[in-house]
Amino acid sequence: MAMARHLYSSAPVVDGLPLLGEPGFWAAHLVDLCEGESPEAFGVDAADAGAVLEQLHDRSAWPMFTVPLENGFSIVVHYNSGEEYTSTDCFLVHPGSPDVVLASTDQDHTGPGLCWPELAAILPAPNGAVGVTDPHARLLLLLPVLGDSAVPAEALDAVAEALIAQGAPDGCGPLARRLLGGHPLWRAHPWSFDTDERSWICDGEHSPRQTPLGDHLSRHRRARLEACLKVEACLDPDSNV
């Protein structure tokens, strides 16, 4: 079971935002999605990637990344480097509401937690937001949470563009394609949009999205989450989603 987020208040959590500027960050953060791939594919050397990986799994300083969304929501990514095991936990959070686990690499292997239409909808950061605001960084940071077997061609282009913006060489399409294959602990799965529940549903065995996202929220907050994820576009019969 993913570590409850309130327990992080007593853990050595540090702001991970400065790590995004380290040359080996993306090769380290995405290492599980591209096992066997050389760090040079990201435009960095193995030493840089190894140095960041050590920081990400430092038991004395657990990096946390906040992806601010519209309407007061955020996605928070926590690296958890405890004595017994290490994991990465991802939560959807909103002040005054229970946190929702979107993905976790702990022993229960929770994921995937996002489909491509949702991830594409949250790439632009709200005006004046604090945290991870660059759309390329937001996309790459949340790729491990994605697991969609029907990603469109535009997803491949978007990931390749993000990789190049972060220092990867041209011609990184094969790497982008591999990164879109889903985390090896849960892989990519089909998603369907439930028009009655106004939510994407995943059929993955380990996915927390087998039930509608936001069903724990009040009607008002759920409406704000739907607006954040551009649910109306999914209800539009003329939409390309």
Q: Give pLDDT tens digits for 85-102.
A: 789 999 999 998 999 999
**Is the residue at 241 inside a domain?**
no
Q: Give pLDDT tens digits for 207-239.
A: 999 999 999 999 999 999 999 999 998 987 566
**Is the residue at 50 inside a domain?**
yes
**Is the residue at 123 inside a domain?**
yes
Mean pLDDT value of segment 1-14 = 84
**Is the residue at 208 inside a domain?**
yes
The residue range of the domain holding 214 is 5-235
Q: Give pLDDT tens digits for 192-211.
A: 999 999 999 999 999 999 99
Position 74 scores a pLDDT of 98
pLDDT at 142 exceeding the cut of 80: yes
Position 9 scores a pLDDT of 85
Query: 171: pLDDT confidence band, cut at 50, 70 and 90?
Result: very high
Q: How far apart are the first and last CA of the chain?
A: 32
48 three-class SS = helix
Query: 3: pLDDT confidence band, cut at 50, 70 and 90?
Result: confident
pLDDT at 241 exceeding the cut of 60: no
Burial of 161 from C-beta contacts in 10 A (0-12 / 13-18 / 19+): middle
Position 146 scores a pLDDT of 98
**Is the residue at 133 inside a domain?**
yes
Mean pLDDT value of segment 29-38 = 94
Mean pLDDT value of segment 127-145 = 98
pLDDT at 150 exceeding the cut of 80: yes
Structurally, the chain folds into a number of domains equal to 1
**Is the residue at 240 inside a domain?**
no
- Angstrom distances, CA of residue 196 to CA of 120, 231, 239: 22, 12, 17
**Is the residue at 93 inside a domain?**
yes
The model carries a pTM of 0.95
